[in-house]
Amino acid sequence: MAKVVRLLAVLLPLLPAALMAPAAAQPARPSWTGSWETAPSGTAAALPGAAFRNVVHLSVGGTAVRVRLSNRLGTRPLRLGAVTVALRAAGPAALPGTLRTATFHGAPEVTVPPGADTVSDTVPLPVPTAADLLVTVYTPDDSGPATYHRTALQTSYLAPAGAGRAADEDGTAYTLTTSRWYYVTGVDVRGPAAGSVVAFGDSLTDGNGSTPDTNRRWPDRLAQRLRGHRLGVLNAGIAGNRLLRDGTGPSALARLDADALDRAGARALVVFEGINDIKGTPQAYDPAAYADAYRTLVARAHARGIPVVGVTLTPYGGYPAWTLAGEEVRLRVNAFIRTGGAFDAVADADAAVRDPADPTRILPAYDPGDHLHFNDAGMAAVADTVRRALTRRSVALLPPGKEPTDPGHSAAVAPHLSETFTTPKTTG
């Protein structure tokens, strides 16, 4: 027994250093890792006979993919007549030679029960990091309300007469555009990826305020900063979502498993949620309720072996729903996030984006004009703050050190899209 005690005394101090080793130092093993995600946020009317060509931006690459599709918010069985995946060339057009048919238990069609999700078989398509993928879904029947994600901030495409069009490489049949993602909720990759970070929150995570069609949400920026570590980033933000009760989409506590903990390769959870409870109707002004909810989220993640980063709630002074009472609640909730001991690490986004001249407000340089959300620069500031939190020893996900260089973004700015389908300026 004395030998065992002495051996433990030698080994235990070495464990944190081993856990903090860069992902690249660990052997690469083929496994499934989430590379892209969106969370179901509502439903829209079905479009029988249409093919939806969703454009999604992967965070990490692999040697094969599988897609996740959802009828979680539907009320009738959903028949998917065809599902294809392809690397995108431009617009709705596939890169020649990359289009593949997704199957489900070997069949090209699948029916998804109401309230359920499904995952395709392995699709043998190598995909690079930061690739745009086309996930096309053909729905031949009226299957009732279509599960979708409202705030995509990404142009996707629709072929109204979709029979046979899921297999089209060219985009000429896809004559309408949409700013929503229909049915698709995730893409997993197989290969050397080291796992994924799940960004779990509301519109601040969903990307409101950032430039559409440029992938400048803070989870996208974080994915750029983590590329050297082979880590994916999954965006489980829903604009209008709430921590304590259902709002837009189920509450954080209700959707935690499906949108975060059950995702392939999840290695860390970043929780940035609560401002809609403070400013929403009805307002939630009891800080103890937030503390209890955060503790519950953390306990459930820890039961899966997943560490949790808590993000402080950012200012919203100047937003129409701001009140002095709500500001007091925000400060007390932030005090708990910082010092309550519930989280494995804290990303102090409040400190990163607030205006020193008026801490109730976002810095003008980060404010898109509504005094609540972040512009592209503000999104980058939040990403940097979360990235630093992931170096904390208790998270054991990233080694501390110099921040990687931001590889930059396209300067193209797409116009905001309407809530319904519109005719694109180009279809190529």
What is the residue-wise DSSP string for 225-277?
A: HTGGGT-EEEEEE-TT--SSS-BSBS-HHHHHIIIIITSTTEEEEEEE--HHH
**Left, alpha or beta for 183 (phi > 0: left; psi -120 to 50: alpha)?**
left
State the Cα–Cα distance between residues 152 and 161, nearest whole angstrom.
Answer: 23
pLDDT value at 419 more than 50: no
| pLDDT tens by residue, 211-228 | 999 999 999 999 999 999
Q: What percent of the chain has pLDDT over 90?
A: 84
Three-state DSSP at 367 gives coil
Note whether 191 and 228 are within 8 A (CB). Answer: no
Q: What is the pLDDT of residue 415?
A: 25
C-alpha pair distances (Å), 173 with each of 61, 169, 213: 29, 10, 21
How does residue 397 score in pLDDT terms, banded at 50, 70 and 90? confident
C-alpha pair distances (Å), 307 with each of 23, 28, 269, 393: 16, 22, 6, 11
**What value does the mean pLDDT take over residues 158-175?**
98
**Cross-strand bridge partners of residue 265:** none
pLDDT value at 410 more than 60: no
Note whether 30 and 188 are within 8 A (CB). Answer: no
| pLDDT tens by residue, 98-125 | 999 999 999 999 999 999 999 999 999 9
**H runs (alpha helix) in 12-146:** 15-19
**What value does the mean pLDDT take over residues 158-168?**
98
| pLDDT tens by residue, 69-105 | 999 999 999 999 999 999 999 999 999 999 999 999 9
Q: What letter represents residue 425's amino acid?
A: K
Q: Show the tokens assigned to 31.
A: 């496994």
Q: What is the pLDDT of residue 15?
A: 32
Q: What is the DSSP letter of 2?
A: H
C-alpha pair distances (Å), 418 with each of 10, 124, 151, 178, 413: 62, 35, 11, 7, 16
Q: What percent of the chain has pLDDT over 70?
A: 86
pLDDT value at 412 more than 50: no
Q: Report which of residues 423 and 206 the model is more confident about.
A: 206
What does pTM read for this prediction? 0.88
pLDDT value at 5 more than 70: no
**What value does the mean pLDDT take over residues 25-47?**
83
pLDDT value at 301 more than 50: yes
Note whether 182 and 54 are within 8 A (CB). Answer: yes
| pLDDT tens by residue, 338-391 | 999 999 999 999 999 999 999 999 999 999 999 999 999 999 999 999 999 999
State the Cα–Cα distance between residues 390 and 265, nearest whole angstrom.
Answer: 16
Q: What is the pLDDT of residue 418?
A: 29
**What value does the mean pLDDT take over residues 6-32?**
42
How does residue 393 score in pLDDT terms, banded at 50, 70 and 90? confident
Note whether 384 and 335 are within 8 A (CB). Answer: no
Q: What is the pLDDT of residue 122?
A: 98
Note whether 424 and 219 are within 8 A (CB). Answer: no
**What value does the mean pLDDT take over residues 223-244?**
97
How does residue 22 score in pLDDT terms, banded at 50, 70 and 90? very low
pLDDT value at 3 more than 80: no
How does residue 4 score in pLDDT terms, banded at 50, 70 and 90? very low
pLDDT value at 49 more than 50: yes
Q: How far apart are the first and last CA of the chain?
A: 72
Q: Show the tokens assigned to 44.
A: 């829209």
| pLDDT tens by residue, 325-334 | 999 999 999 9
**What value does the mean pLDDT take over residues 215-243?**
97
Note whether 301 and 347 are within 8 A (CB). Answer: no
Alpha carbons within 13 angstroms on the beta-carbon side of residue 44 total 17
Q: What is the DSSP letter of 23?
A: G
**What value does the mean pLDDT take over residues 141-146?**
96
pLDDT value at 295 more than 60: yes
**What value does the mean pLDDT take over residues 230-244?**
97
Q: Report which of residues 397 and 225 the model is more confident about.
A: 225
